[in-house]
């Protein structure tokens, strides 16, 4: 099956083939004006200027006229919690009235509230609610997503969540990676040490045996899990081949970056309270620092200092953190806009943070995150827009005209 997209005003493509972009490299975006894009069996075959097209277009099975729109690689969203039950707008109102996220958690709300709701749903009901969010983000231009467990907080419900993630993976063309986040909060009825023991001795082996997760996460933060808890959990996960992706430094400088680096984490996420020393540790690391500007926006919290990190030579990614408590939105275009407006990233830096570097934060930038021959043909066509800078500038305008995943319109 050959598909050709013609009359692209500007194609954002990848001429460097780099698996991630660091520091100053992040402000560069390769573009071909007046371009075509050729896709074969869901994979990018070639691209170039319309003048070079010649015979290629003639034998395509499908011709898509971009009508002067731009083509960009689909967003990659390397941190979400889209498998959850119900919603938590009551806490949203509590926050408006003055309670903080941490206070709500201390009163037994927050993550535990979502766990109580999830407990009442069958796997089928949970799937039916969650697949809607997967379809929603795909229509908004996301082609690759990481989904975490972490609202089960007992073995049966964590497995239920991970099986739902697997079903989503099987039912959408978007690439899905699964992360086990049993250490999201201490489940009701356990002391913390009982819970961590149970997680290590029971949950991780079950998840490992069923191969339900590629990655393992811990909410390493004040009031949740300590670096010591985190180290024990990550050692147990490593025995089953699960590489860490860590929640760190959201509520306080938690020591999460150091423990994550020690255990070879693929990413460290949140980082609203990251220290200068931790930024130095991340400069030459393979671990991708991932900012979640939607969370800072929704919780009225400080933003992670991604500008400072890029200036220090770090690679950075951004993600939505789509979840019922701290960011009920998976709109990556808005995440890119917030990265520019609130974190002072250039539009080109924010786009790279939400595509190639985001794919790297999920361990899949060899196949996703940019348009390059041999990579999956995940892209979207915009309405005619003057430049890529217009994307975060027009921060609520629906600029995506058509989204494609693996070469098929979604």
Q: Which is nearer to ligand NIG, 116 or 206 (CB)?
A: 116
- Which residues, 6 or more positions from 34, have their beta carbon under 8 angstroms from its beta carbon? 7, 8, 9, 49, 50, 51
The least CB distance from residue 247 to Fe ion, in Å, is 6
Q: Which is nearer to Fe ion, 255 or 347 (CB)?
A: 255
Q: Which is nearer to ligand NIG, 299 or 312 (CB)?
A: 299
319 neighbors 179 (Cβ within 8 angstroms): no
Interface stretch with Fe ion, choices 16-24, 188-196, 313-321, 352-360 (CB under 5 A):
313-321
4 neighbors 62 (Cβ within 8 angstroms): yes
Rounded Cα gap, residues 248 and 269, in angstroms = 6
309 neighbors 279 (Cβ within 8 angstroms): yes
DSSP E strand stretches across 160-264: 175-183, 215-220, 243-248
Report what 214 binds from ligand NIG, Fe ion, none; CB cut-off 5-8 Å by kind. none
Q: Which is nearer to Fe ion, 73 or 244 (CB)?
A: 244
Interface stretch with Fe ion, choices 129-137, 249-257, 317-325, 347-355 (CB under 5 A):
317-325
Report what 215 binds from ligand NIG, Fe ion, none; CB cut-off 5-8 Å by kind. none
Angle in degrees, CA 300, 247, 340, rounded to 5? 45
Q: Which is nearer to Fe ion, 321 or 349 (CB)?
A: 321
The least CB distance from residue 159 to Fe ion, in Å, is 20
**Contact set with ligand NIG (CB under 6 A):** 81, 110-111, 114, 219, 247, 250, 295, 321, 323-326
Interface stretch with Fe ion, choices 31-39, 45-53, 69-77, 314-322 (CB under 5 A):
314-322
Report what 326 binds from Fe ion, ligand NIG, none; CB cut-off 5-8 Å by kind. ligand NIG
Q: Is 272 in the site for Fe ion (CB under 5 A)?
A: no
Which H helix or E strand runs over 48? strand 43-49
The least CB distance from residue 253 to ligand NIG, in Å, is 15
Which residues are registered as beta bridge partners of 12?
Answer: 31
Q: Minimal CB distance to ligand NIG: which residue? A: 325
* Total residues at interface with Fe ion (CB under 5 A): 1
Q: How far is CA 64 from CA 2, 70, 380, 405, in A?
A: 11, 13, 12, 14
**DSSP sequence for 305-359:** -HHHHHHTT---EE----BTTTB----HHHHHHHHHHTT---HHHHHHHTTHHHH
The least CB distance from residue 128 to ligand NIG, in Å, is 20
The least CB distance from residue 326 to ligand NIG, in Å, is 4
**What phi-psi label fits residue 366: left (phi over 0), alpha (psi between -120 and 50 degrees) or beta?**
alpha
Report what 267 binds from ligand NIG, Fe ion, none; CB cut-off 5-8 Å by kind. none
Q: Is 321 in the site for Fe ion (CB under 5 A)?
A: yes
Using CB under 5 A as the criterion, which residues of the chain lie in contact with Fe ion when the complex forms? 321
């Amino acid at each position: 099956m050959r598909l050709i997209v013609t009359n692209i005003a500007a194609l954002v493509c990848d001429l460097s083939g780099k698996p991630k972009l660091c520091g100053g490299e992040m402000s560069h975006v390769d573009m071909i004006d007046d371009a075509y894009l050729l896709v074969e069996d869901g994979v990018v075959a070639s691209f170039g200027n319309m003048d070079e097209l010649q015979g290629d277009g003639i034998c395509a099975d499908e011709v898509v006229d971009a009508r002067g729109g731009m083509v960009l690689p689909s967003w990659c969203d390397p941190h979400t919690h889209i498998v959850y039950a119900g919603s938590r707008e009551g806490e949203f109102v509590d926050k408006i009235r003055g309670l903080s996220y941490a206070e709500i958690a201390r009163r037994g709300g927050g993550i535990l509230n979502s766990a109580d709701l999830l407990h009442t749903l069958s796997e089928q009901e949970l799937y039916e609610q969650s697949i809607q969010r997967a379809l929603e983000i795909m229509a908004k231009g996301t082609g690759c997503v990481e989904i975490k467990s972490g609202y089960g907080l007992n073995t049966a419900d964590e497995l239920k969540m991970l099986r739902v993630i697997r079903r989503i993976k099987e039912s959408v063309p978007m690439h899905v990676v699964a992360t086990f986040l049993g250490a999201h909060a201490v489940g009701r009825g356990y002391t913390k040490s009982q819970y961590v023991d149970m997680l290590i001795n029971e949950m991780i082996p079950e998840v490992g045996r069923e191969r339900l997760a590629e990655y393992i996460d811990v909410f390493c933060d004040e009031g949740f899990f300590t670096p010591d808890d985190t180290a024990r959990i990550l050692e147990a996960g490593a025995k089953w081949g699960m590489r860490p992706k860590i929640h760190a430094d959201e509520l306080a400088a938690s020591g999460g970056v150091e423990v994550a680096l020690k255990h070879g984490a693929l990413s460290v996420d949140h980082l609203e309270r990251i220290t200068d020393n931790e930024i130095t540790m991340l400069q030459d690391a393979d671990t991708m620092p991932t900012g979640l500007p939607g969370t800072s926006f929704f919780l009225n919290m400080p933003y992670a200092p991604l500008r400072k990190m890029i200036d220090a030579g770090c690679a950075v990614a951004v993600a939505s953190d789509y979840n019922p408590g701290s960011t009920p939105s998976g709109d990556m275009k808005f995440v890119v806009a917030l990265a520019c407006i609130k974190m002072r990233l250039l539009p080109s830096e924010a786009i790279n943070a939400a595509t190639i570097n985001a794919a790297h934060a999920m361990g899949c930038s060899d196949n996703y995150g940019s348009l390059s021959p041999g990579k999956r043909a995940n892209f979207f066509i915009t309405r005619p827009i003057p430049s890529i800078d217009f994307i975060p500038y027009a921060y609520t305008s629906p600029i995506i005209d058509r989204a494609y995943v693996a070469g098929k319109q979604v």
